[in-house]
Amino acid sequence: MADNKDESFKFVDRRRVDAEGKDRGVDAKTAEVKPQGKIENKNPKTSKSAPSEQPNEIGFSEFAMSLATQALMQLGQMQPPAGFNIPKDVIAAKQTIDILQMLEAKTKGNLDEREAALMSDILHNLRLAFLNVSQGK
């Protein structure tokens, strides 16, 4: 088990260029980058599903909303982002809804109140949208 001691970490950035593509002007084999703050070990089982603090991280709620958005686009109820062409595909939308239903069943008892309510609302709204599209409304 890991101790909660304040340990020093050493990060080595071996890229020759920075984020803008400019030459860093350092020897890539010896370049060192040290962290500015303390690194925390977050346990995902004890943290609540709040919006992610980091832009590249995705939580359960964001994942569920992503699938719901995909289903709405497949049903033709939502416009895809500019530059994308997502044809109306009711069968694919039904499969996406089924995936969300499976996720709800598999995560039952493991979600907090907000996540469980979100899943229930998403599925309710998607099922109504699916019925409206399949009945031609």
pLDDT of 90 reads 94
Angle at 105 between CA 134 and CA 96, to 5 degrees: 35
- 97 C-beta neighbours (distance < 10 Å), count: 21
pTM (predicted TM-score): 0.58
Count Cβ atoms below 10 Å from residue 116 Cβ, excluding itself.
Answer: 15
Structure tokens at 90: 């009711």
Q: Which of 27-31, 52-56, 89-93 has the lowest mean pLDDT?
A: 27-31
Contact residues for 90 (Cβ-Cβ < 8 A; gap 6+): 74, 75, 130, 133, 134
Which tokens belong to 46? Answer: 């004890």
Domain layout of the chain by residue ranges: 60-134
Which residue bears the tokens 């409304």? Answer: 137
Task: For residue range 102-120, list pLDDT tens digits in order.
Answer: 999 999 999 999 999 999 9
At 33, the pLDDT band (50, 70, 90 cuts) reads: very low
